[in-house]
Amino acid sequence: MKKLSMLAIVGMFVAMPGGFALAAGTPDTGPGCGLGKIAWQNYPNAKTKGAQILIATTNGSFGTQTFGISTGTMGCTDDGRWWAEQKATMFAELNSEALAQEMAQGRGEHLASMATLLGVAQPQHAAFFAMAQERYAALSGAGELSPAAMVQALNEGISVDSSLAKVALN
């Protein structure tokens, strides 16, 4: 039923081959500096984290300014380490559904990407996936499936299992 309004003949004139994004209520990040600025703005105060981008992605688009090139640094900060740590939380926030599903299924590219962001080396991914599946069962049993809880559970899982020991964050 999604776009029955499309039946309007004008639908065709509205047709945009590629990349005609509707800027959908993205936060006013000023001359954007990418993902990092959103992290920077939203994370210290938690709660709404990335919610606005989620709104934008739900509509299949982002304001082009959100990820503008050269109007700032990608991470919006010179502190590369701070940004490296934020990336995992951002990723979980923006992919929470896929991450939850893949944790429960014990495999998947979002989970593998998460492992990489958390510094788990490639050969340990299978062990990480098994740990994630086990943690998912516990989290959902406790009714706590927020992205932050998932990241925390994965981090704990890594810290108690010496074989998953972190490699240096990139």
Under rule CB under 8 A, which residues in 7-66 are in contact with another protein? 7, 9-25, 31-32, 34-35, 53, 57-58, 60-66
Q: Measured from the CB atom, is 58 or 162 closer to another protein?
A: 58
Give me the sign of the Cα torsion angle 53, 88, 96, 61. positive
Per rule CB under 8 A, is residue 94 in the interface with another protein?
yes
Sequence letter at residue 114: M
Q: Among 28, 30, 51, 109, which residue sits at the site for another protein (rule: CB under 8 A)?
A: 109
Give me the sign of the Cα torsion angle 3, 35, 144, 133. positive
Report, in Å, the least distance between residue 48 CB and another protein. 18
Q: Among 43, 107, 127, 152, which residue sits at the site for another protein (rule: CB under 8 A)?
A: 107
Report, in Å, the least distance between residue 159 CB and another protein. 21
Report, in Å, the least distance between residue 94 CB and another protein. 7
Q: Measured from the CB atom, is 85 or 108 closer to another protein?
A: 108
Report, in Å, the least distance between residue 77 CB and another protein. 9
73 backbone φψ class: left, alpha, beta (φ>0; ψ -120 to 50): beta
Report, in Å, the least distance between residue 154 CB and another protein. 14
Contact yes or no for 30/66 (Cβ under 8 A): no
Task: Give dist(CA 88, CA 127) in Å, integer.
Answer: 19
- Footprint of another protein on 125-164 (CB under 8 A): 125-126, 129-130, 133-134, 136-137, 140-141, 145
Task: Give dist(CA 118, CA 114) in Å, integer.
Answer: 6
CB within 8 Å of 157: residues ≥ 6 apart: 128, 131, 132, 134, 135, 164
